Structure 1
Amino acid sequence: MQSLRVKDYMELDSHSIPSTLNVAEAVDVLLNDHLSGAPVVDRNRQLVGFLSEKDCIKHLINSSYYRDGSPSVEEIMNRDVISVAPDTSILELAEVMLQHAPKIYPVCDNGKLIGVIQRHHVLQALRKDESSVSLDAQN
């Protein structure tokens, strides 16, 4: 189980949102790409935050009530992002997922976004490992 690594199950070149977009543009990205959220990156692909559907819904409700314009993504994104390294073990990440709410975790190498890993990827890895253990036990 410890040999299973994030890099073996993550999505490479995942969707990200440039920090320079306004919220309306970011919502279009989320809707068009069927995403529940995405990492926010600067022009060097350094992770600077995470924008979720929930963040956008909250903003859209407030802006419709107050008739505010569309602020930048940086103004409403979550800056307290839990990211993981590509060499993190799947088991370690699974433990983190049990303690924290995010379903999507940015995968970073020296702060630079290289992909994402989601709960379903971890579930696949754990199930695959369980299946291989069952097969080994039968032999």
Structure 2
Amino acid sequence: MQSIKVKDYMTHRAVTFTLHMTVSEASERLLIAHQIGGPVLDEHKHVVGFLSEQDCLERMLEDTYQNESHYKVVDIMRTDVLAIDEDHSVLDLAQSMLTNKPKIYPVVDANKRLVGVITRSDVLRAIDQHHHAIYEQGHRRFV
């Protein structure tokens, strides 16, 4: 199971945001991509933050009450991002997900540039596929 790598199950086309994008623009990206959040990138594709639907919802609601839109992604993003290496073990990530609660982890290369994201669903799919492969191997031995 240690040989199952994040890079084999991650999503390569992650929804991303820039620091100076409006929250309205970011919300629209989330809706179009059907994602619950995504990494915020600097001009070099380094992960500098994370923005979720919940972050956007809170600010969009506030903007509605104030009848104006003035928030930028940089104003509301979380900066304590748990990014992981693309060669990280899926099993280790699953173990980490039991105590750390992010549902989406940015995946970075050796230069700390974003290469994708991996979700809890992706990790569950990887483990499920591994279990099926073990079952098939065991089943073939006894037939």
Same fold, TM-score > 0.5, yes or no: yes
Alignment-mate amino acid for residue 118 of structure 2 = I
In the comparison of the two structures, how many residue pairs are matched?
139
Q: Which residue of 1 aligns with 2:119?
A: 118
Alignment-mate amino acid for residue 105 of structure 2 = Y
Structure 2 residue ranges without an equivalent (≥5) = none
- Output the CA distance in 2 between the equivalents of 1:68 and 1:12: 35
CA RMSD across the alignment? 1.3
- Output the CA distance in 1 between the equivalents of 2:91 and 2:26: 32
Q: Which residue of 2 aligns with 1:8?
A: 8
SS in 2 for 1:115: strand
Percentage of pairs with the same residue: 40
Structure 2 length-normalised TM: 0.90
Q: Which residue of 2 aligns with 1:76?
A: 76
- Output the CA distance in 2 between the equivalents of 1:133 and 1:33: 34
Give the deviation of 1:63 after TM superposition.
Answer: 2.4
- Output the CA distance in 1 between the equivalents of 2:64 and 2:28: 17
Alignment-mate amino acid for residue 21 of structure 1 = M
Alignment of 1:1-139 (within 5 A): 1-109=1-109, 110-138=111-139, 139=141
- Output the CA distance in 1 between the equivalents of 2:2 and 2:20: 39
Alignment-mate amino acid for residue 108 of structure 1 = V
Give the deviation of 1:23 after TM superposition.
Answer: 0.8
- Output the CA distance in 1 between the equivalents of 2:81 and 2:58: 18
- Output the CA distance in 1 between the equivalents of 2:63 and 2:14: 29
Structure 1 residue ranges without an equivalent (≥5) = none
Q: Is the 8 A contact 1:51 1:73 kept in 2?
A: yes
Alignment-mate amino acid for residue 75 of structure 2 = E
Q: Is the 8 A contact 1:24 1:70 kept in 2?
A: no
